[in-house]
Amino acid sequence: MSNGSSLPPHRRLRGTLLVVLASVVVAGLGGWLVWHASGRDGGPRAGQPAPSDPTESATGRGGSHTPGGKGSKDHGPRAGLKGKVVVLDPGHNPHNGEHGREIARQVDIGNARKECDTTGTATNDGYAEASFTLDVVRRARTLLQEQGAKVVLTQDGDRPYGPCVDERAEIGNKAHADAALSLHADGSGAGNRGFHVILPARVTDGPADTAAIVGPSRQLGERLAGRFRAVTGSAASNYIGGGTGLDKRSDLGGLNLSTVPKVFLECGNMRDPKDAAQLTDADWRQKAARGITEGITDFLTR
């Protein structure tokens, strides 16, 4: 066979041009394939899934659709406690001291008679228990409402004194509360530190009958103690409860007269300097409110 060298010059030139053109086409096609696989316009590389929704952004896949995630458009209350009623009872009242006669009135708590209310305790620097309880309860109310709960307060600094302990219990009963919490801080001696939760004992006497709430109240107390400890970093009381953070009493009208699950929380000892430093710190009080909220949420969503 003959080769291209025997062809006329114009035929040889046309053959050369065809070879060059074919090389350009092949090279161009190869470049297009590489460009496409590498992800044009910053798109995903080969083997990576493309966004399934055009609204996804650099905040993360599904950023505007992930509940509570970065880029979330849902700023409304979460519905974890929707339909639940929580009663918060801030212990004492900042104005009780101005109404000594009224708060000294005796009321029936079932197995005894006790004063309507007391003034509560205070730190050595004068920070009142009643001021502490109102502050933390208001913080907890906000957090619980964000979870969708209906929150009822027994008082919000809007009463001249009290209410009396029997009325505090009745407020929770009338609200048909799913959980009720009475908030306090202790007034023990220096060196006595830590929080404890007071559970209702079984009392069936006069207007008091705690038989139906002893069990669920203990569950509420256990969850509250666990979350309060975890969030605040506080230790369980070293002087009440044998290190468990739990105590049971039958002499508190707010528990004796309750018909709904209810506990008391003593957040710390206001008379101990180290505990007082926490109780007077706004950041710690916010942690306390969060611990309370998480404990109540754990109980109501168990």
Least Cα distance to 146 among 75, 223, 65, 225 occurs for 75
Query: At residue 181, what is the residue type?
Result: L
- Asked if 184 contacts 170 with a C-beta cutoff of 8 angstroms, the reply is no
The CB-side HSE value for 195 (13 A sphere, CA atoms) comes to 26
- Asked if 256 contacts 250 with a C-beta cutoff of 8 angstroms, the reply is yes
φ, ψ (nearest 5 deg) of residue 96: -60, -35
Dump the DSSP string for 48-64: SPPPSSTT-BTTBTTTT
Distance of alpha carbon 107 from alpha carbon 117, whole angstroms: 9
| Strand ordering across the sheet containing 246-249 | 150-153, 85-90, 179-186, 262-269, 196-200, 246-249
Distance of alpha carbon 150 from alpha carbon 83, whole angstroms: 7
Helix 282-300 / helix 129-146 crossing angle, nearest 10 deg:
50
- Asked if 47 contacts 54 with a C-beta cutoff of 8 angstroms, the reply is no
Neighbours of 230 (CB within 10 A): 13
Neighbours of 55 (CB within 10 A): 11
Neighbours of 78 (CB within 10 A): 13
Q: Residues with catalytic annotation?
A: 266
